Structure 1
Amino acid sequence: MPVPSSAPTEHQLLRDTVRHKIHAAIMDGTLEPGERLNDDELIAWLGVSRTPIREALSQLARAGLIEMAPNRYTRVTTPKAEEVVEAMQTLGVLFGGVVRLAVPRLTASTRKKILAQLDRTITELDAHDVPAVNHDALSVFGLYVDACGNENLQRVCRDTTDGLAFRLRLPNLDELIDWDQLTTDFRRLRDATESGDNVAAELATEAIHLLPGEKQHRPG
């Protein structure tokens, strides 16, 4: 029997190119929360037909970056205050396992890079620089994802974390969570990463993301 080819088709590659471009425009703010996405305008911008655009938008909707209602609207997701805790906890479930796997595997150069990124994030937390924290906190956990060595977990994270993190892009995020405690927990993550204590790093990550039950493990 003929063996099916696993090579991506031109159509698939086009769809993925469109998805990456729209994804990048959402994440860098070119396409703003709540902005409606018109097929004709997207066709003019991207220079492709309607089909790969609709397929790319459907994928972005599954990732949580696009909201779609048939015959009503297609628009960039608008972060909502009531979604903050749920989004953070979901990220915590993912990133807790990532950090536990990654910390024992870190090379000296990767550990140095992560510590530098954590120092940057902690400085931004101290300054209450919400937009910078929104960007750099996700970036630092991306470094742990790259280092965790589990391809399945990496795939899940890369498919879902942007949509979840996008829900935290609220200008008043520091009013919705305990900012001082968040800063303390990031310092705990930094210390545990530096010392190579992957369990302490996992617990700090879960605390950062508001998962319940971790306080009982804290010393003192």
Structure 2
Amino acid sequence: MPVPTSAPTEHQLLRDTVRTKIHDAIMDGTLEPGERLNDDELIAWLGVSRTPIREALSQLARAGLIEMAPNRYTRVTTPRPDEVVEALQTLGVLFGGVVRLAVPRLGAGARKRILAALDATIADFETHDVAAVNHDALDVFALYVAECGNADLQRVCRDTTDGLGFRLRLPNLDELVDWERMTEDFRRLRTATEAGDNIGAELATEAIHQLPGEKR
């Protein structure tokens, strides 16, 4: 029998709009880590009813950007030092596969964009600009995600990487990881990407994210 199709409802679109606005406010620092999110204040800010707000908050909680405890609090996630390694390793599992798929597919333009982004990220590491690293490193891997050609993997990354990356937003991140080794691993990633070596790029990506691999 024919499968019925329907356009997104106004309610669904409203929920998605609300989610995007709250997401962007968290990622740009307008809503700070640990900040409580009050329904009435969100209603006044966003100009919508409670239902799409609660649905959007639930989605953001699944993504790791919001912490919710029924009848206690809804607040922006606070990054914790003890979560850094787990968040890095989870990103490494995702991005390692992404990079392995993406590198052989890169056209000249995409390769040039990724290499330029890697150069910017390496410069951030060399100057110990922690805030810039937190932003630019995720942007680099987002470029690989866009080129990997796997819609399922792209969807998983889209749904999870912001929350995982947010957990790394610690001002003393360089005290919690091996900064010099990570810088060198980004250089390895650049070299492998430029050479079209997807296995080398995958191994460098996994090393960046503290996954165990080949011995040095």
TM-score by length of 2: 0.98
Show the counterpart of 2:136. 136
Is there any run of 5+ residues in structure 1 with no aligned partner, and where?
none
Show the counterpart of 1:169. 169
* Matched positions, count: 216
Show the counterpart of 2:41. 41
Give the 3-state SS of the residue equivalent to 1:215 in structure 2: coil
Is there any run of 5+ residues in structure 2 with no aligned partner, and where?
none
Amino acid at match of 2:132: A
Residue 215 of structure 1: how far off its partner (Å): 2.7
Higher deviation after alignment, 152-161 or 4-13: 4-13
**CA RMSD of superposed structures (Å):** 1.0
Show the counterpart of 1:215. 214
For the pair 1:152 / 2:160, whether they are aligned, the reply is no
Give the 3-state SS of the residue equivalent to 2:43 in structure 1: helix
Show the counterpart of 1:179. 179
Show the counterpart of 1:81. 81
Amino acid at match of 1:116: A
Show the counterpart of 1:31. 31
Amino acid at match of 1:206: E
Residue 2 of structure 1: how far off its partner (Å): 8.0
Residue 113 of structure 1: how far off its partner (Å): 0.4
1:157-202 Cα shifts (integer Å, max 9, x gaps): 0000000000000000000000000000000000000000000000
Amino acid at match of 2:173: L
Residue 156 of structure 1: how far off its partner (Å): 0.3
Cα pair distance change 1:47/1:2, threshold 3 Å: farther
Partners in 2 of 1:215 and 1:82 — Cα distance?
A: 25
Partners in 2 of 1:3 and 1:187 — Cα distance?
A: 50
Give the 3-state SS of the residue equivalent to 2:56 in structure 1: helix
